[in-house]
């Protein structure tokens, strides 16, 4: 009788354990499925992109929350970069600091990495009307900054060009390509000049290409 009771207890325990494993397995399958769907969304937008587009993302970590609050008006996005199409592959060049980028150097990442659905809630792409010459100037400028190993500016000082933060990098690249056309959008607050992420697409020059929510 004691053995039977033990057997029943043992059997019940094993059943609970099996049920728990099945439950976790189903969750993993669901996450995997959702992940695949998210990457399908990323793949689907590639044909709409071109070199020189600016890309914005909203991260799901604490640092991203702080970065969003840095924006002047629209606090939807926490980071940005410039898209370059290279041999039919889409790359994002972006200035990132902190523990996310130990080298503190300008990053060149595939679109899928920049928009990793496990770390990003959404992303959007905007486009400036650049002519062929301006697109070429921007591409050259971006790749030159990457080759030289442009460092992230931890002090967010807009007046220096040897180090840049994310929105500064995007702004200065576009401004160089358009021969200073964006200077009129620069805003100084409390005698401090800086460019926020939302400054890049709320100035009337940028047109939305696509927005993707995960």
Kindly report, residue by residue over 75-85, the tens digit of the pLDDT.
Answer: 999 999 999 99
In this predicted structure, the answer to whether residue 32 has a pLDDT above a threshold of 70 is no
Residue the block writes with tokens 């669901």: 30
Give the tokens for residue 44.
């689907």
Question: Region 51-66: what's the mean pLDDT?
Answer: 97
186-208 burial by CB neighbour count: b if 16+ within 10 A, else e?
A: eeeeeeeebbbbbbbbbeebbee
In this predicted structure, the answer to whether residue 23 has a pLDDT above a threshold of 70 is no
In this predicted structure, the answer to whether residue 48 has a pLDDT above a threshold of 80 is yes
Q: So what's the pLDDT on residue 91?
A: 98
Look at residue 172 and give its three-state secondary structure: helix
In this predicted structure, the answer to whether residue 30 has a pLDDT above a threshold of 90 is no
Task: Provide the pLDDT confidence category of residue 7 given band limits of 50, 70 and 90.
Answer: very low
Is residue 139 within 8 Å of residue 52, measured between CB atoms?
yes
63-69 long-range CB contacts below 8 Å, 24 or more apart?
63/98, 63/100, 67/197
Q: So what's the pLDDT on residue 130?
A: 98
In this predicted structure, the answer to whether residue 155 has a pLDDT above a threshold of 80 is yes
CB atoms within 10 A of CB 2: 6
pLDDT in tens, 168-205: 999 999 999 999 999 999 999 888 999 999 999 999 99
Give the E-state strand segments of 54-178 in sequence order. 54-59, 79-86, 89-94, 107-110, 120-127, 151-152, 163-164
Task: Provide the pLDDT confidence category of residue 115 given band limits of 50, 70 and 90.
Answer: very high
How high is the mean pLDDT of the chain? 88
Residue the block writes with tokens 């130990």: 102
Q: What is the DSSP letter of 185?
A: G
Give the tokens for residue 5.
């009771």
In this predicted structure, the answer to whether residue 6 has a pLDDT above a threshold of 80 is no
Residues comprising the chain, all counted: 214
């Amino acid at each position: 009788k004691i053995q039977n009771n033990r057997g029943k207890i043992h059997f019940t325990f094993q059943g609970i354990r099996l049920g728990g494993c099945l439950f976790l397995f189903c969750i993993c399958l669901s996450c995997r499925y959702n992940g695949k769907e998210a990457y399908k969304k990323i793949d689907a937008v590639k044909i709409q992109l071109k070199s020189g587009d600016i890309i914005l993302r909203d991260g799901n970590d604490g640092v991203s929350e702080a970065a969003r609050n840095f924006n002047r008006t629209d606090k939807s996005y926490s980071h940005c970069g410039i898209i370059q199409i290279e041999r039919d592959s889409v790359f994002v060049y972006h200035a990132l600091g902190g523990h996310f980028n130990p080298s503190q150097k300008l990053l060149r990442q595939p679109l899928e990495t920049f928009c990793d659905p496990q770390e990003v809630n959404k992303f959007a792409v905007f486009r400036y009307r650049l002519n062929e010459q301006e697109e070429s100037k921007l591409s050259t400028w971006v790749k030159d900054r990457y080759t030289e190993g442009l460092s992230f500016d931890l002090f967010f000082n807009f007046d220096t060009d040897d180090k840049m933060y994310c929105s500064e990098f995007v702004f200065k690249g576009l401004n160089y390509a358009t021969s200073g056309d964006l200077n009129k959008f620069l805003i100084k607050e409390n005698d401090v000049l800086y460019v926020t992420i939302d400054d890049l697409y709320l100035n009337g020059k940028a047109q939305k290409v696509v927005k993707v929510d995960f």
